[in-house]
Every structure is written in structure tokens, then in C-alpha cells.
Amino acid sequence: MTTIDDFLSLIRDDLGIPLTAADLDLALDEVAGWDSVQLLSLLGLLERATGRPVSLPAVLEAATLADIYVVATGAEPAR
Amino acid sequence: MSAPPVESAADRLLALHRSGQVAARYPEIRALLAGLPEEELARAGRLLSRLDPDDVLREHPAQPRVTIAVTGNGTLSGLVPLLTAELARHGVVLRPQVGDFGTYVADLSDPDGAFLAAGADLVLCVLDPAAVTDDLPTPWRIEDARRVLEEKVALLERLADRFAERGGGRLVLNTLPLTREITAQLVDGQSRAALGAAWREANARLLDLVRTRPGVAVVDLDPIIADGVPALDVRLGVYTKARLSPGLLAGYAREVGHLARQVVGRTKKCLVLDLDETVWGGVLGDDGPEGIEVADTYRGEAFRAFQRVAKQLAAQGVLLAAVSKNDLDPVRRALRDHPRMTLREEDFVRVVANWRPKHENLRELADDLNLGVDSFVFVDDSPYERGLVARELPDVAVVAVDDEPAWHVTRLLRDGWFDTPVLTGEDQHRPARYREELVRKDFLNSFDTLTDYLRELGVWVVLEPANEQSSARVSQMTLRTNQFNLTTRRLPPADVQALMADPGATVLTVESGDRFGGNGVVGAIFTHREGAVVHIDNFLLSCRVFSRGIEQAALSAVLRHAAATGAEAVVGTYLPTAKNGKVADFYPRHGFTAVDATTFRHDLTDIPPVPGHIDLTENLGGDPS
């Protein structure tokens, strides 16, 4: 997984949450269908998809899905 | 003509999810899940758990459903998708109720609290090792661990008692895994060994709750872990308290799936085996009886192990049948005469060997045994045969084995298809009784009319109150019987015992037999009396003994007894299900008039007689009958 689109489709097709790019920068509690259950599932999926460990404390502290993407991939922040 | 390829099952599910059609197409889901590899099941569960179960049930009201409440000492939200998928594999819709995590003591202590008052069918109290280690002081010694283990087990025993007092539903506990992160904290060998012993004693006491508290099930996590599944996910545990590993939760959910199956009465009853390359190595028609492998060779020993497990299941009441593309005579000779064969002809209730499509043979076998094909588990090494059966008879559970027979036993036992809360005396005799039944059928075919046959059959019936010996069997019948079951009220053993102890209620057993031998306890009738009206709460009869007048004899006795003890009417209820249509007219046929769609009333003026061919012995207690 490298691109933000890969990240979005992971959430859509593996977690089953119908996200759009607009949801990426919302606070997590404002994302429809998002809760802590998904966060735990997403952690495992991200590690499998990127092939490397993700820092759990950093993901747990992330405020938005875009932040999680940055933590998981080490990509430059979009903003 | 083969099963859908793996890719397409996952893709199909995803396509249904994307187009928002999963609820509408829910009956297809079970077959899709059967085609998924195990690692895909978790994802399927996540997609399915996005659905509102009530949407599914609104579209498919006949779909069986089970309510499961989840509590425990850790974060367990990841369990719900896994349970959703495992129940869906059995065609059961999960209605989950998830409590706050870490609140199991409060949840299970308060019978009127929101958690228990919701009346779930299964209440899961999922515990991980932190239930013990969180209570250890720092630093701790072996004495501390012993004390905490003792306290926890005593607490769980009390919670189980309180749960039992309240009645209804089943409490599901689990053993606590012991990991090196705990044992290795003690550096001296003696203390470490003592901890291992004390921990396992605590687990042994938990497992013993199943014996002492009939409403409790305990999932033993050790065998799942021994298969190579890590017990804990250390990082998730530290950061989120989701301590049990996803793999262990998946194995746990699979066990719960089979408990849910029991709740809805979908226990499998018959194991149908292919022969060539499933029961023995080689092809009988090509290799001849000397050429097939059943012992002594490398592959032969693998098949022998499989045959022994099939025999082991049969000894516990599972009906064994063979359906094979072969000529019948050589198959019979091989089963009878092969010196090293473990399974013998008499271990099977029926051996079907011919060249017809297997789904037709299975359908016919179901008719002969008076069972639904949904009580069959079918094992075959041929993807073609499996695919055809799966497509034509989607209710049959299909177990795939392949050309590596060393895995046959593992594959067969991977799911607890035949799991049951308790074995009764009936179970050991069941295969023999079904074999006798097939002999009766042949006997029947030699008569011109059914009446002649029944007269010659010499049917006897004993109707009497349930007792200590028969109560487990009565519970089992309520859980297993689907066709002749007027209200399909499932009663765990504890509930049957509660009714037996209730002075206002009566639980009767129907035992029968004939010239071919005893059938054992084949039916149960539940009644209670309100003033001058006797209510039949349920009436059920084993499918083995339908259509012999036994039901009329028993009903006649209940009606006469009601009249003799001053009742003015008897009221019966019929609640239709997908499977009990054949008894829809049971009450009207015997002189009851419909009060409404589900209630029928008999005014006791014209009581149907006991059929002339039946020798009835009745002991309904109390006043003369």
C-alpha cells in the first residue's frame, strides 16, 4: 500500500466503511461509521499491507484518518 | 458444475456489499462463506457486521437468529465481526449485544441490569489472563497467585450460580491461557511449577462448571492454542486491552458458532462419507479389494486413523452412511471381508454405492432416514462431487478432504458439527435404532396396506411423567427436533428440570417400541393447567416414529386425562417454522377447533380414540385417567 487511494480502498473494502476522500481530514469521531473497533482492525490491516510494524501509540493518538495514513506509511503530511 | 472459485466468492461478497444488497441476498451468504479460505473469513465478518441484523430479518423473517451478549475483562469489539461470520456460516443471523468492557462482574451480578435483562440466548463472558494478573500485587509471589486464582474461580462459580437461578440462556465461559510472560516472572523452578499447577487447577475447576451447572458452557482455549495459534496479541493488549489474539478469538468464535447452532436446533446428525480416497486409499473398482489401503502402509495408516475417528463419532450417536460411486457388491465385500478394515458394514446405517449423482443419493438417504438433508455432513475428496452437492443441496455441510489423507481427521473435526451439550443413553443406541428403522421400511414394503403393516408391527407406547433419567433426553429432543415440534421451544437441561419441579406444569415422555425392538424415549409433551383449561405448551415426536399412530395415542391419553380430572377444555398451540409444516394440521386433525391462527381448542366432548394397533400404557399421575 503506497497511495492515499490504496488507504481509502482498504477502509472501504476491508472494513466495509463507505468513506470518501473528504472524510480523511475530519476528526475521527465525526467520520460516519467509524469507531474504535475499526481502529483495531485497521492496525492489523495496515501492518499487513505495508509489510512493516506501525507504532500503535502514534496511531491511537492520531486525530484524523489522514494522520493514521501518515503514521502507517511514513508519507509526508499532505498539509 | 464445480464450486465457485475462491476469488469469485470473496469478490461476490464484496460486490454485494458495495451495492448494498447483502441484506436482500442474505440467503446466498452461507454458500459464499463456505467457498472462502479461512483467512478471508475475518474480512467477510467485518463487511457483514456493518449490516443491521434487523434489516436482514425484516427481509427474511424465517432466517434463524441468535442473540449473543458479550462481556469480559478486556476489549472485545473485534469479536463481533468474527461471531457474525461464524454464525453466518451456519445460516444464523447474529444479534449482538456488547456491554462495556471490563464490566463482567457487574454485568453478570445484576439479574435485572440491562445486560442480563435483555435475555440473550448466549451470554459470553470472555476472560483473558489479566483477569488474574491485574489483581496481583507488585511484587508478587506464588502464594499471591494462588489466592487470586482461588478468588477468581470462586467469583465465577458464584456468577454462574446467579445466572442459573435466573434461568434461560446459556452462560459461556472460557479457560484462561497461561503464557510465559506470567510463568517466567518467577525465577525459581519450584514456584514456577507450583504456578503452573495452580493455574491449571483453576482451569479444571472452570471446566467442571459444565458438569455442575447445566446452563453453563466453557470453551477450552488450550486445544486452539495447541494448534499453533498465539494466545495473546501483546502490543494490542498493552495499548488497547484487546489482549486475546485475533487468531484465538477466531477459534473461539468458531466454537461459539456451534453453540449457536445448538440454540436454533441445527445440530448435524448424519456423517456421509465418500469411500475411494476418503475412507480408504485407492479406487476399489480399479485396485481391487487387495489394492486399497486401509492400514499398515504409510497412506493406509492415515486412512485407518480417519476410519477410527468416524467409528468414534458413530459410538456417540452420529449416524454414519456411505455414498460412493462404485458397484454395491464389491463395496459390501470390502467392508465385510477386508481383514484390516476398521469400519465395517454394520457401522453404517446405510451403504449407498451406485453411479447416480451424489446429491440424488443424499436426498433419498434423507427420505429413508426421515431426516432433512440439513442434518448431513458430507465428506468427499473430489472437488467435482463436493461442488455438485454444495450447489444442489446448499443445506448440506460439505467437508473438503484432498489427496493428503494425513489431514482427513483434522478437516473432519475442524468444525464441531456434531457437538451437543450432553450425551444421553439414546445417543449410543441411535445408529442401531436407525438401522432397525430401515429394516422396518423393508418390512413395510411387504404389506399391501399400512394398516396391515401396523397391526403386524405390534407398536407399544408408554406415556409417563419425565424423570431424572429421561430429563436430559427430553431437553435434547427440544433442541434437536424440528419437524414434529409444535412450538419449537428449545429447552436446555436446566429449563426442563425447572418445569419438572414446577407443580403447575407437567412434562410427559413418550416411549415406544415394536416387534423389532425398543425405540427409547421418542417424544415429549409439555402441559400446564390454568383453572379448568389444560394448555399443551409443546408436543414433539422424533422423526423416526412418525405416522404410526403414536402421536394420536399420546394426544388421546392427554385429552382423556384432562376430562377425567375435571378440565373443560384443552388448548394447544402451533407456531409455524420453516420445518414443522407437516404438523400444521395436527390439532385440527384430532378434533380441535381453531381459536386463532396459532391456538386450537378441544372441548373434550368427542375425544379421538387410541388407534387399535397400539398397546398404550399410561401413567399420567394424580387422578384416574
pLDDT, averaged per 10 consecutive residues of chain B (625 residues), comes to 59 91 92 86 92 94 94 92 96 91 88 84 96 96 97 96 85 97 96 98 97 92 96 92 94 96 90 97 91 94 98 95 94 95 94 92 92 95 90 93 96 94 81 81 70 81 93 90 90 90 93 84 94 95 82 94 94 90 90 94 93 90 49
Is the CB of A40 less than 8 angstroms away from the CB of B240?
yes
Per the CB < 8 A criterion, the answer to whether B186 and B142 are in contact is yes
Per the CB < 8 A criterion, the answer to whether B31 and B390 are in contact is yes
Per the CB < 8 A criterion, the answer to whether B548 and B502 are in contact is no
How many helices (H) and strands (E) are present in chain B, helices listed first? 26, 18
List phi, psi (to 5°) of B346.
Answer: -75, -10
Distance CA A7, CA A18 (A): 13
Closest CA to B567 of B526, B605, B525, B609: B605
Mutate to test the interface with B, among A8, A19, A37 (most CBs of B within 10 A): A37
Per the CB < 8 A criterion, the answer to whether B390 and B378 are in contact is no
Which pLDDT score is estimated for B432?
83
Is the CB of A15 less than 8 angstroms away from the CB of B46?
yes
Bridge pairing between strands B459-465 and B505-514: antiparallel
Per the CB < 8 A criterion, the answer to whether A54 and B236 are in contact is no
Which pLDDT score is estimated for B625?
35
Per the CB < 8 A criterion, the answer to whether B489 and B524 are in contact is no
Distance CA B3, CA B500 (A): 49
Closest CA to B259 of B547, B490, B77: B490
**Torsion angle (degrees, nearest 10) of CA B587, B588, B593, B594:** 80
Distance CA B106, CA B534 (A): 41
Residues of B in Cβ contact (< 8 Å) with A43: 236
Is the CB of A17 less than 8 angstroms away from the CB of B50?
yes
Q: Is the dihedral of CA B612, B616, B622, B624 positive or negative?
A: positive
Distance CA B470, CA B507 (A): 10
Is the CB of B14 less than 8 angstroms away from the CB of A43?
no
Residues of B in Cβ contact (< 8 Å) with A41: 46, 78, 81
C-alpha cell at position B320 = 454414519
Per the CB < 8 A criterion, the answer to whether B487 and B573 are in contact is yes
CA angle A5, A6, A9 (to 5 degrees): 85
Mutate to test the interface with A, among B50, B76, B83, B101 (most CBs of A within 10 A): B50
B139 preceded by cis ω (within 30°)?
Answer: yes
Per the CB < 8 A criterion, the answer to whether B274 and B385 are in contact is yes
Which pLDDT score is estimated for B373?
94
Per the CB < 8 A criterion, the answer to whether B197 and B144 are in contact is no
E strand spans, B501-568: 505-514, 517-530, 533-541
Q: What is the DSSP annotation of B254-296?
A: HHHHHHHHHHTT----EEEE--BTTTBBS-HHHHHHHHSBSSS
The interface residues of chain A toward chain B in range 16-55, judged by CB-CB distance below 8 A, are 16-17, 33, 35-37, 40-41, 43-44
Per the CB < 8 A criterion, the answer to whether B406 and B302 are in contact is yes
Residues of A in Cβ contact (< 8 Å) with B52: none
Residues of A in Cβ contact (< 8 Å) with B50: 16-17, 33
Closest chain A residue by Cα to residue B243: A40
Distance CA B334, CA B344 (A): 9
Mutate to test the interface with A, among B11, B77, B83, B100 (most CBs of A within 10 A): B77
Is the CB of A14 less than 8 angstroms away from the CB of B236?
no
Distance CA B453, CA B441 (A): 10
Which residue from B46, B75, B236 is facing A16, i.e. has the nearest CB?
Answer: B46
Which residue from B43, B49, B78 is facing A40, i.e. has the nearest CB?
Answer: B78
Which pLDDT score is estimated for B297?
94
pTM of the model: 0.80
Which pLDDT score is estimated for A79?
47
- Give residue ranges of B with CB < 8 Å to any A CB: 14, 17-18, 43, 46-47, 49-50, 75, 77-78, 80-81, 235-236, 239-240, 242, 246
Residue where the block lists cell 423389532: B516
Is the CB of A33 less than 8 angstroms away from the CB of B50?
yes
Distance CA B54, CA B23 (A): 9
- Distance from the Cα of B233 to chain A's closest Cα (Å) equals 11
Per the CB < 8 A criterion, the answer to whether B486 and B523 are in contact is no
Mutate to test the interface with A, among B19, B40, B46 (most CBs of A within 10 A): B46
Per the CB < 8 A criterion, the answer to whether B90 and B257 are in contact is yes
Q: What is the DSSP annotation of B10-34?
A: HHHHHHHHHTT-TTTTGGGHHHHHH
Closest CA to B25 of B2, B47, B1, B3: B47
Cβ atoms < 10 Å from Cβ of B515: 11
pLDDT band per the 50, 70, 90 thresholds, residue A44: confident
Which pLDDT score is estimated for A76?
65
Per the CB < 8 A criterion, the answer to whether B610 and B460 are in contact is no
- Distance from the Cα of B514 to chain A's closest Cα (Å) equals 58
Closest chain A residue by Cα to residue B78: A37
Per the CB < 8 A criterion, the answer to whether B331 and B288 are in contact is no
Distance CA B605, CA B532 (A): 14
For residue B593, give the H/E element and its range: strand B593-594
Per the CB < 8 A criterion, the answer to whether B126 and B70 are in contact is yes
A-B interface: how many C-beta pairs under 8 angstroms?
39
Is the CB of A40 less than 8 angstroms away from the CB of B242?
yes
Which pLDDT score is estimated for A78?
52
List phi, psi (to 5°) of B313.
Answer: -65, -40
Residue where the block lists cell 467469583: B155
Per the CB < 8 A criterion, the answer to whether B374 and B266 are in contact is yes
C-alpha cell at position B155 = 467469583
Q: What is the DSSP annotation of B116-157?
A: HHT--SEEEEE--THHHHTTS-SS--HHHHHHHHHHHHHHHH
A27: Cβ contacts below 8 Å, ≥ 6 apart: A63, A64
End-to-end CA distance of chain A: 20
Which residue from A16, A37, A41 is facing B17, i.e. has the nearest CB?
Answer: A16
Distance CA B293, CA B284 (A): 10
Mutate to test the interface with A, among B80, B240, B244 (most CBs of A within 10 A): B240
* The 3-state secondary structure of B369-435, one letter per residue: HCCCHHHEEEEECCHHHHHHHHHHCCCCEEEECCCCHHHHHHHHHCCCCCCCCCCCHHHHHHHHHHH
B521: three-class secondary structure by DSSP: strand
Compute CA distances A56 → A11, A15, B179, B451, whole Å: 18, 18, 22, 76
Residues of A in Cβ contact (< 8 Å) with B46: 14-16, 41
The interface residues of chain A toward chain B in range 52-71, judged by CB-CB distance below 8 A, are 56-57, 60
* Average pLDDT of span A34-41: 82
